[in-house]
Structure formats: C-alpha cells, structure tokens
Amino acid sequence: YIVVLLQSNYIPKKKQTQSSTQAPLFNDEPGVLKMPSMCNAAVLTCCADSKPQQKACFNRFGCGVSYENGKACSEDSIAAALDSFKTAYSPLQ
C-alpha cells in the first residue's frame, strides 16, 4: 500500500469542510399546527380525474358529501386546499 502511494506521487487533499444551512423553523406547538383535512387531500387528488371518476375518488377519501355540493373542484376550493397544505407544512418566515 505504501509503495503504491509513493509510486503514484499521491498527494492527499486537505479535508474540505462543508457549510450547512440552518434547518427551517416550524410552528409545531400543540394546538397550533392545523393539519389539512382528508377532504382537502381529496380535492388535490381527485379533481385531476375526469368528472365520472371524481365522485368515486371523493368517496374513497370519505368526502362524498363534499363533492355533492358541486363546488369541490372549483378554483376557489382548489386554492383553499393548497393553502391548507402550505399553512401546515411551510416553514416560518
């Protein structure tokens, strides 16, 4: 091993240090974190389906009643569902 290193003119590199960034802060105090509902998850999952498949998809999430109002896949509903996930999972600014 030593012979190989000498023959190859091996020069060890200096150990490089890596800088790290601080982990993001989340407001996870009890009672503060509001998890998105399953129906919000259904909106984001099911509204991409074709109309005939949407009702069955909402039913699988247990949100058939939410779909029945006819507004489950509206732009406002999708925006609200996205906001619920952003609020729950985005780090504090």
pLDDT tens track for 8-38? 555 666 666 666 776 655 555 555 557 889 9
Q: In this structure, is residue 68 part of a structural domain?
A: yes
Instruction: Please name which of 77, 79, 76, 73 lies closest in space to residue 48, comparing C-alpha atoms.
Output: 73
The string of pLDDT tens digits covering residues 64-90 is 998 999 999 999 999 999 999 988 887
For the chain, the maximum distance between any two Cα atoms, rounded to a whole number of angstroms, is 79
pTM score above 0.75: no
* Total domains present in the chain: 1
For residue 65, the enclosing domain spans 26-93
Q: Is residue 1 part of a domain?
A: no
What is the three-state SS of 77-93?
HHHHHHHHHHHHHCCCC
Can you say how many angstroms the Cα of residue 54 is from the centroid of all Cα atoms in its chain?
Answer: 22
Is residue 21 in a domain?
Answer: no
Q: Is residue 38 part of a domain?
A: yes
Helix, strand, coil fractions of the chain, as percent rounded to 5: 50, 0, 50
Determine, yes or no, domain membership for 62.
Answer: yes
